């Protein structure tokens, strides 16, 4: 199946607790798809030779992005928050970060994260009192915490009381 290239370039991919330099390809399966695919190659040569991908990630059920945080000496960072995966990337230059941010949000839509404070939580809950970020999208909201962001939960807005 043909894909629609959105963007490609050099990235640093956060794999577990390490940064790995990769060549990233951001694409859509069709011009009207509301999801993206991120393919990561070892380098640009592997991509042009048709070499194997190191990783392929489906960016579906998008909630938003968080960027501008410093993580282990990397300051041009972005986390792409989806229901099933949070992808954290770093870039050498701020202009590269901004280019990727614009392409991602123009393709998937944007959301404004809101900072909130959880004052109390139910006993034996995965949630802890403290600062969190809310991402509102498509009548749902996601709650994240920490750097890099960690998804704490997803709820339907209609479930709020």
Cα dihedral 90/91/95/101 (nearest 10): -30
Please check the confidence at residue 88 and state whether its pLDDT lies above 80: yes
Confidence category of residue 52, pLDDT binned at 50, 70, 90: confident
Mean pLDDT across the chain: 89
Distances (CA, A) of 9 to 5, 40, 155: 12, 10, 34
Residue 127 has pLDDT above 70, yes or no: yes
Contact 134, 143 (CB under 8 A): yes
In which band, very low, low, confident or very high, does the pLDDT at 56 lie, cut at 50, 70 and 90? very high
105-123: average pLDDT: 88
Q: What is the pLDDT of residues 91-106, one digit of tens each?
A: 999 999 999 999 999 8
Mean pLDDT of 68-90: 93
pTM of the prediction? 0.89
Nearest Cα to Cα of residue 58 among 94, 95, 41, 33: 33
Q: What is the pLDDT of residue 1?
A: 43
């Amino acid at each position: 199946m043909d894909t629609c290239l959105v963007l490609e370039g050099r990235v640093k991919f956060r794999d577990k607790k390490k940064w790995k330099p990769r060549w990233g390809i951001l694409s859509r399966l069709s011009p009207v798809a509301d999801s993206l695919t991120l393919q990561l190659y070892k380098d640009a040569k592997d991509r042009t030779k048709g070499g194997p991908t190191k990783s392929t990630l489906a960016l579906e059920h998008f909630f938003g992005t968080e960027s501008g945080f410093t993580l282990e000496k990397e300051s041009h960072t972005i986390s792409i928050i989806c229901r099933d995966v949070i992808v954290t990337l770093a870039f050498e230059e701020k202009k590269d970060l901004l280019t990727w941010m614009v392409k991602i949000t123009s393709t998937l839509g944007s959301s404004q994260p809101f900072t909130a404070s959880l004052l109390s939580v139910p006993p034996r809950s995965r949630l802890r009192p403290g600062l969190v970020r809310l991402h509102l999208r498509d009548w749902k909201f996601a709650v994240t915490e920490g750097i890099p962001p960690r998804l704490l939960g997803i709820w339907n807005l209609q479930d709020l009381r």
